[in-house]
Amino acid sequence: MKHVVDKMLDKHHKLVHSEGVKILSHTQREIDEWVQHTVTIEGCDAPFKFRRTKKYRSLQGHKVNMTYYPETETVAGFDFEVMKVVRIKRF
């Protein structure tokens, strides 16, 4: 039986899955009705972003499994690499 993540990876070719990555920082800020979560992981400079309807307890220092898409975000005329998280679970 295929795992949920395996099915997602087969269907979406640009999707990336990482297991057991350590969260270095986790920030949460409210934007309208949503809470924007931004995490950074060990060994990667790009921020990982996702939105949820409520705040979560901090993921800082924990290991997680993440499924995400690489994206480019333009801020003040500069392009930055950002990862859009589709699925995140504690390891």
pLDDT tens readout for residues 1-39: 467 777 777 777 788 888 999 999 999 999 989 999 999
Q: Quote the pLDDT of residue 1.
A: 45
Q: What is the chain's mean pLDDT, rounded? A: 90
Tokens of 68: 């995400």
How long a stretch of residues is the chain?
A: 91
How far from chain centre, in Å, is Cα 31?
17
Q: Tell me what percent of the residues of the chain surpass a pLDDT of 70.
A: 98
How far from chain centre, in Å, is Cα 5?
14
Task: State the virtual CA torsion across 56, 33, 82, 8 in degrees, nearest 10.
Answer: 70
